[in-house]
Structure 1
Amino acid sequence: MWRLFILTIVCSTIATSENSRISTRDWDILIFTQSWPNTVCLQWKEKYENHTCLVPIRKNEWTIHGIWPTIYGTHKPGYCNTTWKFDESKISPIEDELNKYWPNIQNGSSETSLWEHEWEKHGTCAASLPQLDGEMKYFKQGLAWAKKYSLTDMLSSSGINPSDGKYTVQDLVDAIKSSTNKNPAVECMTDKETGEEYLLEIRICFDKKLELIDCDGIEPLQQGLLTNCAPSKEVFYPSNVPPVHKKPPLSDNIIREGNAKKQKISYLDTLLRIITFLQWLTL
């Protein structure tokens, strides 16, 4: 009996030590990131031609990417406790909700791969807060924030809706700020072939008391805006997954012309070498 009691105390002490490797002093702010599924899908499909996407259960609604404890001006910390692995059983009671609000859109990867990544990279750092010191608390907080701070509703209330039209980054920032009274950050994806920019993510920020604050300081300002988008350009908020633009494959004629040019250059190069050699012999 005593042996069991002592073993329990030792295991508890080890677990507490493992789960306390990082303190709240090691980061400054919590970034709550939500993604626009249509652009996430485009990003996924651009990587490989055979990639497909899973349609979210909640159509035309933003989805959760994650809660990220962050040091101002960096993308750190991450993977704060590599021994604290994701355990799906810990969140099984809320899995249906997670599939609605926090789905993995990338078809071909496991259903839980996004949750696993977010917990192991970010959740283990957020766990230095008592309010987030476990998988259930971490994921439930994301669900609570997604419901309270619906980006679909915030943007729509300012007349910004998914469409084939474009909006300025300032329009997007103003729409979120009018609902939260705090500065958000706006992230875009740029189509490498067309140069067009698509709305990818919007981030709102919280302090260690889980109170909403400005996101100022999480990244450099561009024309007074927290964004990686080009402030001077308008941004697509696509109602459907945009088409993937890739450079067309070279035609057979172009390939043959290219090979012929290479052969011609090779022939001229050989001829020049012969002439140079003959000149050297006559010296």
Structure 2
Amino acid sequence: MKSYHSFFVQLLILECLAIACGSQAYNFFYFIQQWPGSACHSTGRCCYPTTGKPAADFSISGFRPYYNSGQYEIYCPSNDSINPSKLSDLIPKLHANWPSLACPSSDSTSLWTHEWTKYGTCSMSRYDPTQHSYFQETLVLKGRANILQILENAGIRPNGKFYSLAAIKSAIKRTIGYEPWIKCNTDASGKSQLYQVYLCVGRYQVSFEECPAAALSKLGNSGCSSAVKFPAF
């Protein structure tokens, strides 16, 4: 009887843990911007959207919900399929700030569809019932984190020169208030270059916050050297 009782208690605990895990909500977002010059120079080829060559500025790469552990969910069930008509007032800003560089050339709608379907749907508890708020908030964050202006104010410019990674992080932290996580890729000659800037955003507030250490550890190797190239675009 004692053995049966012990087994029953353990089973009950496991069931409770399963319910807790299943009901756990994400904790924060990664807001990711990328430098188009590095995106194009790394692959050796990129295709400008049908709207024309994007401005020489950091563009949005993603706005993705994560758990503090660094885990995340994708392709969550949703009845809110991407619909450009719901985003009509945002389309000009999306073209300017979230363009696709994938080949073949497109009007970038496929990129926005991918990001919403894969990641945006998993933030529905925040943005229910429509996708409009998801894209609108992402654009607001882009305005609050003008990475190119921040770096240029610190004398760090996209001119093909190499800059200290520590100086890049320091410049962003001075303005944003929190240190970013930087991802690098390599140019055709194998040199490390500035590629993406990760900032963390609170679950409920449209504001930046410290990134959880456990989550950052799951991002892996940044690919950056102590000095990185900032190529022109």
- TM-score (normalised: structure 1): 0.66
SS in 2 for 1:64: strand
One-letter amino acid matched to 2:180: P
**Cα distance in structure 2, aligned partners of 1:156 and 1:133:** 39
**Cα distance in structure 2, aligned partners of 1:180 and 1:137:** 22
- Cα separation, partners in 2 of 1:24 and 1:135, compared to 1, 3 Å: farther
**Cα distance in structure 1, aligned partners of 2:110 and 2:158:** 28
1:113 counterpart = 2:119: no
RMSD: 2.6
**Cα distance in structure 2, aligned partners of 1:215 and 1:169:** 18
**Deviations 1:159-212, CA, capped at 9 Å, x for gaps:** 111012111221111111010111211111134x63311211101111112231
- Which residue is 2:67 aligned to? 71
Aligned length: 208
- Which residue is 2:12 aligned to? none
- TM-score (normalised: structure 2): 0.79
**Cα distance in structure 2, aligned partners of 1:212 and 1:116:** 25
Q: Quick check: 2:42–2:186 contact (8 Å CA) kept in 1?
A: no
1:123 counterpart = 2:120: yes
Pairs within 5 Å for 1:1-283? 25-45=24-44, 52-54=47-49, 56-57=53-54, 59-74=55-70, 76-81=72-77, 83-111=79-107, 112-130=109-127, 133-191=129-187, 194-210=189-205, 211-217=207-213, 218-220=215-217, 228-232=222-226, 234-240=227-233
SS in 1 for 2:203: coil
Alignment gaps of 5+ in structure 1 = 1-22, 241-283
Q: Quick check: 1:187–1:199 contact (8 Å CA) kept in 2?
A: yes
**Cα distance in structure 2, aligned partners of 1:76 and 1:143:** 22
How far 1:127 moved relative to its partner?
Answer: 1.8
The one of the two structures with greater contact order (alpha-carbon pairs below 8 A, sep at least 6) is 2
SS in 2 for 1:93: coil
Q: Quick check: 1:151–1:176 contact (8 Å CA) kept in 2?
A: yes
Alignment gaps of 5+ in structure 2 = 1-21
